[in-house]
């Protein structure tokens, strides 16, 4: 008869291994996962590229999904896991700091990324705790090593002991500063919370909307599509599950997996583009000019001064083609100028051309030349935090001032390059007043031949009837929590005749 090993008991005669522990491990050590689940591996690769290589999640994720050949369901899981971990990084790091016996900066970056992935599964996804623990530890064991996997297992056990709400309550206990509380609860840097509060007030909204705005930043955005006017259609996208957009014509909302698998998207006649970006491009293309001196051949000349990587330029080119106009797309970086050319390939070549050069010098070559100019100025991107979740952790307060100098120079050049009677659209994907209204006011203050048009009315005219109601004001600001778009700012400036 084979003897059974004696079970260890405590002083009360109970077995030391309790059921609560068993439910967390679920399997014996020899049965634990030792391979990386493909969907979680994709999310891990995205976080490693973002934190280790300063990559952009939206560029890395589709490539990784295709590399690992994820089906629709797994691709959706990987997307939510990667983007969710990036959005929640501030809150998760604060929680992890309570569960790790050393400063987080002393952890191996790969270990920290694995912990963030595990934390998001445990606290914000419908993943059973035992599965989140087992699969995250298995991922770590496969791609990092056995030693780190033990640490990850121990830390995530502590994380799983409380709900996200309980953790936030612990982290904010006794904190009376509303900004600091909001930063922890909604996973935004404190300076961005302050900036967004200031932005709401500057654009005539209540500071009380900050909670809704921060929550909107953390919502997973639906992919917005646009069919290039006169060149593309949305039939294929609709058959794949897309629904028609509610704000702007020729648009659709797509939540059916990897949009890159659509033939029309690969051909470039249907493009991924936020509805806010579509609206500002259409507003410029459709606004009435005031006696602009059209060329002898009657062809309007349009300019996209900061065209890379080519999204708005391609929509503008398609609109120009419909209206018999021509577009010059300018981009200073050669590799981004090539991306613009590739994007514009979907539009007949006689409609567009690409200039590689500094936008601030374009008025020297083309003084008073263009009828319509788009200045989609480089900015902090505070209006696209839901689509660019990593940007909230990369940007610094000093970026606002540094970019403000460039923004003023670009807008000053644009009003020199536009014809009398022509219109310049100044656009940023940021609501920060230092990047929006202050820039416009500074440029207008120095000249007496410029006037603001009603940008709100122009956006209303460019949207589907009754859909937007941006209001009628000198400048216009879209909001994620109000319009379900990126926080696009638009000013339309006419050069007087």
Active site residues: 429
Q: DSSP letter for 261, please.
A: G
Radius of gyration of the chain (CA): 26
Helix or strand run (H / E) with residue 384: none
N- to C-terminal Cα separation, the chain: 106
For residues 138 and 35, the answer to whether their CB atoms sit within 8 Å is yes
Q: How many CA atoms lie within 13 A of 228 on its CB side?
A: 28
Phi-psi group of 264: left, alpha or beta (phi > 0 → left; psi -120 to 50 → alpha; rest → beta) = alpha
Other Cβ atoms less than 10 A from the Cβ of 86: the count is 25
Token digits of residue 483: 């319009």
Calpha distance 134→132 (Å, rounded): 6
Calpha distance 141→147 (Å, rounded): 8
For residues 108 and 50, the answer to whether their CB atoms sit within 8 Å is no
For residues 317 and 464, the answer to whether their CB atoms sit within 8 Å is no
Query: What residues contact 301, with CB distance under 8 A and at least 6 apart?
Result: 295, 325, 326, 328, 369, 370, 371
- Residue that has been written with the tokens 């500002």 in this structure: 280
For residues 217 and 188, the answer to whether their CB atoms sit within 8 Å is yes
| Distances 364 to 374, 381, 433, 440, 493 between C-alpha atoms, Å | 17, 29, 29, 22, 20
Calpha distance 453→446 (Å, rounded): 17
State CA 140 to chain mean position distance. Answer: 28
Give the three-state DSSP class for 219.
coil
């Amino acid at each position: 008869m084979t003897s059974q090993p004696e079970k260890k008991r405590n002083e009360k005669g109970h077995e030391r291994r309790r059921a609560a522990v068993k439910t967390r491990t679920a399997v014996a050590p020899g049965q634990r996962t030792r391979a990386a689940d493909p969907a979680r591996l994709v999310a891990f690769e995205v976080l490693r590229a973002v934190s280790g290589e300063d990559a952009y999640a939206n560029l890395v994720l589709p490539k990784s999904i295709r590399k690992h050949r994820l089906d629709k369901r797994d691709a959706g899981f990987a997307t939510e896991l990667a983007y969710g971990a990036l959005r929640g990084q501030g809150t998760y790091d604060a929680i992890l700091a309570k569960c790790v016996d050393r400063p987080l900066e002393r952890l191996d970056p790969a270990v920290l990324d694995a912990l963030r992935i595990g934390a998001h599964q445990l606290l914000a996804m419908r993943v059973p705790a035992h599965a989140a623990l087992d699969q995250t530890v298995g991922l770590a064991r496969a791609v990092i090593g056995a030693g780190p996997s033990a640490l990850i297992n121990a830390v995530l056990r502590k994380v799983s002991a409380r709900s996200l709400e309980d953790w936030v309550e612990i982290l904010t206990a006794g904190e009376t500063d509303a900004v600091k509380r909001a930063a922890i609860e909604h996973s935004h840097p404190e300076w961005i919370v302050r900036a967004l509060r200031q932005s709401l007030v500057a654009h005539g909204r209540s500071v009380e909307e900050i909670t809704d705005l921060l929550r909107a930043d953390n919502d997973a955005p639906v992919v917005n599509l646009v069919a290039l006017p006169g060149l593309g259609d949305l039939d294929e996208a609709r058959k794949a599950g897309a629904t028609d957009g509610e704000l702007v014509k020729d648009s659709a909302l797509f939540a059916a997996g990897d949009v890159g698998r659509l033939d029309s998207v690969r051909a470039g006649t249907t493009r991924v583009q936020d509805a806010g970006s579509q609206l500002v491009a259409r507003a410029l293309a459709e606004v009435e000019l005031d006696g602009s001196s059209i060329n002898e051949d009657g062809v309007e000349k349009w300019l996209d001064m900061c065209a890379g990587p080519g999204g708005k330029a391609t929509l503008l080119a398609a609109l120009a083609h419909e209206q018999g106009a021509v577009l010059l797309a300018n981009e200073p970086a050669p590799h981004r100028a090539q991306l613009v050319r590739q994007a514009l390939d979907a539009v007949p070549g006689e409609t567009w051309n690409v200039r590689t050069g500094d936008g601030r010098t374009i008025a020297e070559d083309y003084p008073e030349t263009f009828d319509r100019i788009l200045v989609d100025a480089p900015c902090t991107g505070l209006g696209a935090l839901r689509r660019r979740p990593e940007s909230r952790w990369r940007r610094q307060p000093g970026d606002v001032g540094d970019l403000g100098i460039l923004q003023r120079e670009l807008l000053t050049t644009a009003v020199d390059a536009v014809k009398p009677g022509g219109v310049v659209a100044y656009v940023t994907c940021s609501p920060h007043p230092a990047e929006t209204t202050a820039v416009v006011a500074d440029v207008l203050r120095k000249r007496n031949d410029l006037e603001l048009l009603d940008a709100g009315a122009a956006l209303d005219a460019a949207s589907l009837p009754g859909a937007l109601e941006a209001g009628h004001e000198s400048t216009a600001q879209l909001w994620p929590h109000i319009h379900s778009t990126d926080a696009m700012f638009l000013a339309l400036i006419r050069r007087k005749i």
